[in-house]
Structure 1
Amino acid sequence: MTKETLVKLSVELETCGKALLQIAEALRTEKKALASEPPKKEPAPRTLTLEEVRKVAADKSRQGFTEEVRNLIRSYGADKLSNLDAAQYEAFLKDLEVMGHAG
């Protein structure tokens, strides 16, 4: 290798080294910034509405499960869907979703 080639390579190596140092510093700065950020809050769980539950129940009824839907409503202690406790909507929907699936 010629002296000129070695000089060019050493200049390139020095440039690469400086770039690596800049990257390392940027990563350190970013890590510190992330560590000082307050933790992000999880969004509150979405509350189901009677209309959403009614839609799924109506779909199951149209699929031929009318009596099963009525029985499920009764099993939750209500005589009709609108009397179902809103706190039970999620569990009720899960039961509706599996209705008609062989298990």
Structure 2
Amino acid sequence: MTKEELASLAAELKKCGAALVKIAASLEVPEPEVPKKEPDSPALTLEEVRKVAADKSRQGFTEEVRELIQKYGADKLSSMEPEKYEAFLKDLEVMGHAG
């Protein structure tokens, strides 16, 4: 092979390489963008929940508060599972509002 033939082959190989790089780049799947997680709101404490329940009780809803506690699977507020506090508070908030 002559120098000219080798140079021509080398140029063709470079073209092929560049084409392969383009093809590979087009086949790449981009990493999915992970959405930034909002910081969790601080967990409710028994004291915070107890305060709202006591306020409702003072407003004359003692029996309704007791029934609501039982609805959430507890016999008293202090035995309620903490992960149920948020839903319990939402139910307390609507208590007494005409529906």
TM category (shorter chain) comes to 0.5 to 0.7
Please list every run of 5 or more consecutive structure 1 residues that lacks an aligned counterpart in the other structure: 1-38
| Distance in 2 of aligned mates of 1:86 and 1:59 | 19
Letter of the structure 1 residue corresponding to residue 80 of structure 2: L
Please list every run of 5 or more consecutive structure 2 residues that lacks an aligned counterpart in the other structure: 1-34
TM-score scaled by structure 2? 0.62
| Distance in 1 of aligned mates of 2:87 and 2:36 | 28
Question: Which portions of structure 1, spanning 4 or more consecutive aligned residues, are displaced by more than 3 angstroms?
Answer: none
Map 1:63-82 onto structure 2 (within 5 A). 63-82=59-78
Over the aligned positions, Cα root-mean-square deviation in angstroms equals: 1.4
**Residue number in structure 2 paired with 1:43:** 39
Letter of the structure 1 residue corresponding to residue 97 of structure 2: H
Percentage of identical aligned residues: 80
Structure that is richer in helix per residue: 1
Query: Displacement of 1:42 after TM fit?
Result: 2.5
- The reply on whether 1:55 has 2:35 as its aligned counterpart is no
> How many residues matched?
65
TM-score scaled by structure 1? 0.59
**Residue number in structure 1 paired with 2:80:** 84
